[in-house]
Amino acid sequence: MVRVITGKAAELTRQCGRELAVAAVSARDRNKDRGIDFGNANWFDDPVEMAKSADIDVFVELIGGDEGAAHACVKAALEAGRHVVTANKALLAKHGVSLAEIAEKKGVLLNYEAAVAGGIPVIKTMREAMAGNSVTRVFGILNGTCNYILTRMEAEGLSFDACLEDAQRLGYAEADPTFDIEGHDTAHKLSILTSLAFGTKIAADDIYMEGISNISQADIRAAGELGYRIKLLGVAQKTESGIEQRVHPTMVPTASVIAQVHGVTNAVAIETDILGELLLSGPGAGGNATASAVVGDIADIAKSRPGFQHGPVFGRPARELRPYKKARMRSHEGGYFIRLTVHDRVGVFAAVAKRMADNEISLESIVQHAAGQEADAQKTVILVTHETTEAAVRKAVEGITKDGHLTDKPQVIRIERAG
C-alpha cells in the first residue's frame, strides 16, 4: 500500500484532487527492515494512540484478527471521527454492525473493499452501483488457496496433500492452513456479502460449512466424467423462510462461467431482479490485489468533501439492518453427488437402492466401477440424485453405513446448476 501511494503520488493527486501522504505508522518492530521508505511519517508504538491522532485523516488497519489491537484501533479511530479502511474480514464478520453504527453516528466512512475477494470491486458494486436491484442470490469462489488446490488436483492428478504442500511452499497457504481449507475464510467473506445483499445483520456463526480436505482424486475424476468441476463455493440466497448461507465443495457444470475460474483467482456472482446475473472475477489474494483495493478505498475517501453525507456502511443504515433469520431446510435444486466405496458382493447394490427409495430420493444416474477381481473386492458406486433435501440424503447415507456395506467414508457433494 505504501509503495503504491508513494510510487503513484502524482497520479493519485490528480485523481483525488488532493495529495495522499503516509502521515503515521505503527507496527510491532520499528527497527525491522521492510524495504520501504516511510519518509517523514510519525512512528507510534501504540497503534490505538495513532488511531486517535489529530494528525491523520484516515486510519488503515492491516493488523488482522477479530479482537485485540485490530478491534481496539478501528473502534478508537471511528470514535475519534477518523475514516477507516480495513482489509480485515474476521473483524467485520464479528463486529461489523457495531463498528458501522459508530461510523454512521460520527459521519465518517468505514471502507473494506480488500476484506472480500481481494482486488475485485464487489463491495463497491453491491453497496453503490446496484441501487434499486433486489438480490436473490450471491455466490462465488472466495478463497484463492482452495481454488488453487482444486485446480492443481484436476490439472495434474495430484493428491490434496501434495497440492496443499505446494501451496504452502509458494506462499498461497499458511503454515496452519485450517482457516482456509476448512471454509472459515470463505464463511467470513460470505457473511459480509449476505449483509450487503439482503439487509440483514452479519451472522458468520450461522453458516453451514464444509472444507475441501476430504476431496480426493476419485471425486475429481468422477466429477469430470459427469461433466462437472469441483469448486469451494460460498452461497447465500433468499428463500420464503429466511436466508440460506452455506460454504462447501460444489460440483458445477464444466461449461459454466464459474467453472472456468482457475488458480488463485476469485469470482463473485450476484443474481438480481433487474440486472439479472452479474459475475465479477479477478485476483482474490496477494499483496498487489490487497494494495489496489486499500488504495482505492483511501482514494474514495479523499474524493469526498467535508459536510458530505456518506452512504451507510452495509448499504442500509446499520440500525435498520434486520436480524438474520436462518432458512428452513429445503430441497436442493441441483441434486447431490454421492460416492460410496462398497464391498463387491451380492445384495449390496439392491440395499443401496432401497435406502434411496425409502428416503424418497430419485436418482438421475448410477455409475459403478469395480476396483479388483478378488472374492471380496471393493466397488465404487456413484449416485447423482434429482432435487432432494439435505436431510434425506444424510439419512440415506447413514442407513447405508449402518448396513455395513461401506469400506470407506462416504462422500456427499452438492451440485449447483450454476450459469
Residue 229: which of 277, 193, 275, 267 has the closest Cα? Answer: 267
Residue 186: which of 291, 315, 90 has the closest Cα? Answer: 90
- Strands 83-86 and 58-61 come out as parallel
Q: From the CA atom positions of the chain, what is the Rg in Å?
A: 24
**Would you please indicate which residues are annotated as catalytic (active-site) residues?**
189
* 150 Rama sector, left if φ>0, alpha if ψ -120 to 50, beta otherwise: alpha
Asked if residues 301 and 111 have their Cβ atoms less than 8 Å apart, the reply is: yes
Question: What is the C-alpha to C-alpha distance for residues 217 and 161, in angstroms, rounded to an integer?
Answer: 11
Question: What is the C-alpha to C-alpha distance for residues 411 and 382, in angstroms, rounded to an integer?
Answer: 9
Rounded to the nearest 10 degrees, the angle between the axes of helix 160-169 and helix 144-156 is 130
Asked if residues 418 and 256 have their Cβ atoms less than 8 Å apart, the reply is: yes
Cα distance from N-terminal residue to C-terminal residue, the chain:
35
Question: What is the C-alpha to C-alpha distance for residues 232 and 142, in angstroms, rounded to an integer?
Answer: 8
Question: What is the C-alpha to C-alpha distance for residues 336 and 359, in angstroms, rounded to an integer?
Answer: 14
Torsion angle of the four alpha carbons 160, 225, 283, 82, in this order, in degrees rounded to the nearest 10:
-80
DSSP single-letter state for residue 305: -
